[in-house]
Amino acid sequence: MGLFPQQFIDDLRLQANIVQVVQEYVPLRKAGRTYKGLCPFHSEKTPSFHVDPDKGFFHCFGCSKGGDVFTFVCEHEKVDFPEAVRMLAQKFGMTLPEPVEGTSDDARRDSALREALLKIHEAAAAYFREQLAAPAGARARQQLAARDVAQKTIDELGLGYAPHTRDGLKSRLLKDGFSQGLLLQSGLIVQRENGEVVDRFRNRLMIPICRETGPVVAFGGRAMDADQVPKYLNSPETPIYSKSRTLYGLNLTKTQIRKADFAVLVEGYFDFAQLFQSEAAPVVASCGTALTQQQAHLLRRFTSKVVLSYDPDAAGQGAAARSCELLVAEGFDVNVVVLDRGEDPDTFIRKQGAARYRERLRRSQPYLEYLLDRAASGLDLGHTDKRREFLERMLKVAAIIPEPAARDQFADRIAHKARITEDVVRAEIRKAAVNRQTVVTTREVPSLGQLKPAERALIWALVHRTAEALDALSGLEEDDLEGLNGRDIFEAARSAFGVQNAASDRLPSALFERLSTMNAQLVTSIASESVPPAGLGESVFALKQLRWKRESATIERELERLQQAGIDGPQVTELLIRKTAVKQQIEETEELWRQRNDRIHGRSVLAHTRSGR
């Protein structure tokens, strides 16, 4: 952490109201003491995203994401911790202090590097624009004109030209004062095998790729000549550019998308350019490959309706099919526009105009129906075998639909097509969907189920009854925590309060700072339960008891080993003494618990642990 003084982080946390921060991205409704809304990190139609203003954390019951206000900004804006601090400080009018010297050199270097890379991209974009306007760019300008890209569009998209020279960009950037090392890291300059350092992009039409917030982070370069390979050359992944997190053009169209509440998803830069220029519809481009989950989440911030407009040969196949399925699985309403054979959005709009294209958009078909039609059209559903084949293929698709109602509707359509009873299909789909969900849940929350009820109770109390929980925790020894899945959390809590004495009101934030993402999610998911998973007192007993049982088992194993090896003597005697002592501990703890349990009635944690948890 340490890039900023701890005191500043603490002050900022107090200032930065988590409800206010979250609300800028997600509409929240008050629900009792907490707030809830639709989760920005996964797709859903009923809210499972909770914000607890008192404890300063958020948690989603759907995808288990959780954490404090800094975690939220990091996750949502895809920035690192120092950047999140900076953004929140700015938002809440707090002046950033001088970074603490020598504490987090890495973090500081990281953000300095990103900043430098952004500057390099800005300078490169300017250079490419100049080159397009210069005599060297004459052919590129002609090509753009031939594709009906107007000067206004060229300016808005920031298009440029990388000339045929070996190191035109390199010399310019060196002259601007950037070091060669930085240039290599930007990916715009490459080192050849013979050691020569040259421009990556040469004789190409340059398309700047921007973050949705505006800055240029990468380039796509389109070949000028027919024999030039590859046809499209793109920037590599860099510290500022992740292909899987970027949607081309979103920076220009996001406002429009939000307003229209839908986006047309096209494949290429020129499809984008024509839709954008003709104002046919709000558009983004996936640029060739199948959509990723991060891209879907990015788009989700602006709309949940997508019309896929790929070229007709590609729609429903390969990358397009995978994109559609991902969008459906993420809860998007997905429609498909099918243009005439040989047309893509670029050529269609140029030939027939925006009005005709909009007409096609209006007639676009829901993806699932489109898929049904396509699948059915190739098969003779009069045959039992073919019908089975069709059914199996469609059941796979149905299983990814997150909403039960939509799934049932799809089931009915499948049944109708295949002339099978609807109930049969619905039952099959439900089976498939349940299977799928189990898989997803166990993968995303690997250890919640592995925590014992007593551990969960202690974690719950750490957030809601901090003083009591710390008291309980202090009654547990190092050995009591040994081997527990929640151990890291308990140790973090101890260390947080060992340092910040009597600062129990600072939980859970002090705790979150010390936890891994997974553990932070675990804490928020447990803390979001409205009732404690078990009583605190009995949980302490249960954990102690578990420890003695673990020790007892270890002793038994060791005794058995010695016996099998034929060893006798002081070693065995010592173990037998320890065995008796542990047995006594178990009995004592059980007696204490029984006495206590006579007084207090709660959920029996011990009974639970005895039955093999």
Residue placing its CB nearer to Zn ion in the complex, 3 or 39:
39
In the 8-state DSSP scheme, what is residue 334?
E
Judged by CB under 5 A, the stretch of 53-61, 504-512, 529-537, 541-549 that binds Zn ion is 53-61
Q: Two tokens at 572? A: 């065995």
Chain Cα centroid distance, residue 509: 22
In sign, the C-alpha dihedral spanning 90, 91, 95, 96 is negative
CB 264 within 8 A of CB 275: yes
3-state secondary structure of 340: coil
Judged by CB under 5 A, the stretch of 61-69, 217-225, 303-311, 577-585 that binds Zn ion is 61-69
Q: To the nearest whole angstrom, how small is the minimum distance from the Cβ of residue 299 to Zn ion?
A: 16
Residue placing its CB nearer to Zn ion in the complex, 58 or 178:
58
Q: Does 296 bind Zn ion (CB under 5 A)?
A: no
3-state secondary structure of 35: strand
Q: Does 459 bind Zn ion (CB under 5 A)?
A: no
Q: Which single residue is written with the structure tokens 């339960």?
A: 529
Q: To the nearest whole angstrom, how small is the minimum distance from the Cβ of residue 517 to Zn ion?
A: 14
In the 8-state DSSP scheme, what is residue 155?
H
Chain Cα centroid distance, residue 467: 34
Q: Does 211 bind Zn ion (CB under 5 A)?
A: no
Q: Give kind and range of the element (H or E) at residue 206.
A: strand 204-210
Q: To the nearest whole angstrom, how small is the minimum distance from the Cβ of residue 48 to Zn ion?
A: 6
Q: To the nearest whole angstrom, how small is the minimum distance from the Cβ of residue 41 to Zn ion?
A: 4
Q: To the nearest whole angstrom, how small is the minimum distance from the Cβ of residue 459 to Zn ion?
A: 20
Judged by CB under 5 A, the stretch of 8-16, 59-67, 275-283, 370-378 that binds Zn ion is 59-67
Cis peptide before 40 (omega within 30 of 0): no
Closest residue by Cα to residue 497 from 485, 507, 486, 484 = 507
Q: Does 42 bind Zn ion (CB under 5 A)?
A: yes
CB 327 within 8 A of CB 366: no
Judged by CB under 5 A, the stretch of 17-25, 36-44, 162-170, 187-195 that binds Zn ion is 36-44
**Binding residue (CB under 5 A) for Zn ion from 4, 35, 41, 272:** 41
Q: Does 394 bind Zn ion (CB under 5 A)?
A: no
- The pattern of x and - marking residues 62 through 81 that bind Zn ion according to CB under 5 A reads xx------------------
**What do you get for the CA distance between the two ends of the chain, in Å?**
37
Q: Does 220 bind Zn ion (CB under 5 A)?
A: no
Q: Does 22 bind Zn ion (CB under 5 A)?
A: no
For 355, other C-beta atoms within 10 Å of its C-beta total 10
Residue placing its CB nearer to Zn ion in the complex, 42 or 254:
42
Widest distance between CA atoms in the chain: 96
Q: To the nearest whole angstrom, how small is the minimum distance from the Cβ of residue 183 to Zn ion?
A: 40
Residue placing its CB nearer to Zn ion in the complex, 1 or 518:
518
Sequence-separated (6 or more) residues with CB below 8 Å from residue 200:
187, 188, 189, 190, 221, 233, 235
Identify any residues that bridge with 308 across adjacent strands, giving them in sequence order: 265, 336
Residue placing its CB nearer to Zn ion in the complex, 62 or 537:
62
Q: Does 510 bind Zn ion (CB under 5 A)?
A: no
Sequence-separated (6 or more) residues with CB below 8 Å from residue 105:
none
Judged by CB under 5 A, the stretch of 42-50, 79-87, 183-191, 603-611 that binds Zn ion is 42-50
Q: Does 493 bind Zn ion (CB under 5 A)?
A: no
Residue placing its CB nearer to Zn ion in the complex, 35 or 357:
35
φ/ψ of 15, rounded to 5, equals -70, -45
Q: To the nearest whole angstrom, how small is the minimum distance from the Cβ of residue 62 to Zn ion?
A: 4
Q: To the nearest whole angstrom, how small is the minimum distance from the Cβ of residue 60 to Zn ion?
A: 3
Length of the chain: 613
**Binding residue (CB under 5 A) for Zn ion from 9, 22, 39, 334:** 39
Q: To the nearest whole angstrom, how small is the minimum distance from the Cβ of residue 605 to Zn ion?
A: 29
φ/ψ of 299, rounded to 5, equals -65, -35
Q: In Å, how far are 216, 217, 408 from 428, measured between CA atoms?
A: 48, 46, 11
Residue placing its CB nearer to Zn ion in the complex, 36 or 360:
36
Q: Does 60 bind Zn ion (CB under 5 A)?
A: yes
Q: To the nearest whole angstrom, how small is the minimum distance from the Cβ of residue 531 to Zn ion?
A: 22
Binding footprint of Zn ion on the chain (CB under 5 A): 39, 41-42, 60, 62-63
